[in-house]
Amino acid sequence: MLELRDVSRRVSGVDHLSGISIRLERGALNVLLGPTRAGKTSLIRLMAGLDRPSAGSVLFDGQDVTGRPVSKRNVAMVYQQFVNYPGWTVRENIASPLKVRGTAPAEIEREVKRAADLLRLRELLDRRPAELSGGQQQRVAIARALVKKAGLILLDEPLANLDYKLREDLRAELPRLFADSAAVVVYATTEPAEALLLDGVTVAMHEGKVVQAGPTQSLYREPQDLATARIFSDPPINTIPAAAAANPARFAGATTLAVRAHHIRLQPRSASPDVYVTQVESIEINGSESFVRLDVRGQHWVMLARGIHAFAPGTSLTVYVEPEDVMQFDAAGQAIRPRREAA
């Protein structure tokens, strides 16, 4: 178990991380979710021991490892960039952590083969990283992290630099790869969809702080505050001041209302939805879905509609929002009575 106690990091007067206290369990996939510059990488580097916290302590399995240098810790890490030793073959790259540890050559060979099979690198063992595609290079880095059997495995946006198809493939494989490792696995990402697909536990981060941590599904469905709701929405969550809502009486006490893009509908679902008459600003079609940008009483909303729609910009469009899909927040941005979503 990895525990951070009130950890902060200040670099030349700027707070990169402040007051972070979280506990991450073994066996679960822990996702750090947040936009760029939220402090995910800073936090990961701190967990690895590459950087030292300015204040607070890092505990691993109850032991304080705050000041312990990275080479003395039992961690593995995969970077967003594909980092491998360029002069070494794939085999030597994967074997590297075992070799340092002084593992017997026969066992190294066995472990490297096993990892290579898992990551479909068997045919590439004698190549050098430069001769591989980006996806293969990143798989080498992941294999190196796997063979070490470290207690803490850190993945810092490992799929961000891959193209779409490779990302999908590798993302589907990742939970399986780390499923039987008894390690604390930490996975940083900017994409809410990735957090949902990986399931497990999500730590939502914003401006160097943890805004909410908990099981991924509950974070998604019941964000504690507007910041978490924003972080956990792609396309961005749609907001409107409660006073400007279609039916303000329904949301007494709330200051801001928020609704996800796919909860804005072209047809009502219930007998008494909130009805908004909007102006179409633009439309983007990705093949099976349409992203419709709307002007709703001065607010800019995005509606995600199934199928292909051809609304001309400037035309008027009536949309429906079911009250149970609406998230309510008070003046401080705290959630009021979080509601269950209908899938």
Partner 1 sequence: MKQGRFAWIVPALYILFLMTPIYWLVAMSFKTNLEITTRFTLFPEAFTLDNYAKVFGDERWRSVFANSLMYVSLNTVISILVALPAAYAFSRYRFFGDKHLFFWLLTNRMAPVAVFTLPFFQLYSAFGLFDTHIAVALAHCLFNVPLAVWILEGFMSGVPREIDETAYIDGYSFPAFFVKIFIPMIASGIGVAAFFCFMFSWVEYLIADALSRNAVVPITTRLQALSQASGTDWGVLAAAGTLTLIPGAIVIWFVRNYIAKGFALGRV
Q: Footprint of partner 1 on this chain (CB under 8 A)? A: 48, 50, 69-71, 75-77, 79, 81, 83-87, 96-97, 100-101, 144, 148
Give 20 or 153: the residue with its C-beta nearer to partner 1: 153
Q: How near is the Cβ of 162 to partner 1 at its closest, in Å? A: 17
CB of 317 to partner 1, least distance (A): 48
User: Could you tell me which of 205, 335, 341 has the C-alpha nearest to residue 260?
Assistant: 341
Q: Indicate the residue among 42 and 202 with the shorter CB distance to partner 1.
A: 42
Say which DSSP state 194 is in.
H
- How far apart are CB 129 and partner 1 at their closest, in Å? 11
Contact indicator for 218, 196 with CB cutoff of 8 Å: no
Query: Residues, the chain, total?
Result: 343
Closest distance to partner 1 from the beta carbon of 87 (Å)? 5
Residue 257's contacts (CB-CB under 8 Å, 6 or more residues apart) are: 239, 240, 241, 242, 245, 251, 326, 327, 328, 329
Which residue's CB is nearer to partner 1, number 49 or number 223?
A: 49
Report, in Å, the least distance between residue 161 CB and partner 1. 13
Taking residue 182's Cβ as centre, other Cβ atoms within 10 Å add up to 10
- For partner 1, the closer of residues 35 and 87 by Cβ is 87
Three-state SS letters, 230-244: HHCCCCCCEEEEHHH
Torsion of Cα atoms, 208 then 209 then 211 then 215, to 10°: 90
Nearer to partner 1, 80 or 218 (CB): 80
Residue with tokens 């004698």, as numbered in its chain: 126
Closest approach of Cβ 85 to partner 1, in Å?
6
Query: What's the CA gap between 78 and 144, in Å, rounded?
Result: 9
Q: How far is the CB of 284 from partner 1 (least distance, A)?
A: 35
Distance CA 48, CA 52 (A): 9
DSSP 118-135: HTT-GGGTTS-GGGS-HH
| Cβ at position 82, least distance to partner 1 in Å | 10
* 141 versus 292: smaller Cβ distance to partner 1: 141
Give the residue with the Cβ less far from partner 1, 48 or 294.
Answer: 48
Task: Give every CB contact of residue 3 below 8 A, 6+ residues apart in sequence.
Answer: 22, 23, 24, 58, 59, 60, 62
In degrees, rounded to 5, the angle at the alpha carbon of residue 27 between the alpha carbons of residues 23 and 29 is 70
CB closer to partner 1, 101 vs 306: 101
Evaluate whether 20 touches 38 at the Cβ level (below 8 Å).
Answer: no
- One-letter amino acid at 270 equals S
CB 296 → partner 1: shortest distance, Å? 45
CB closer to partner 1, 156 vs 222: 156
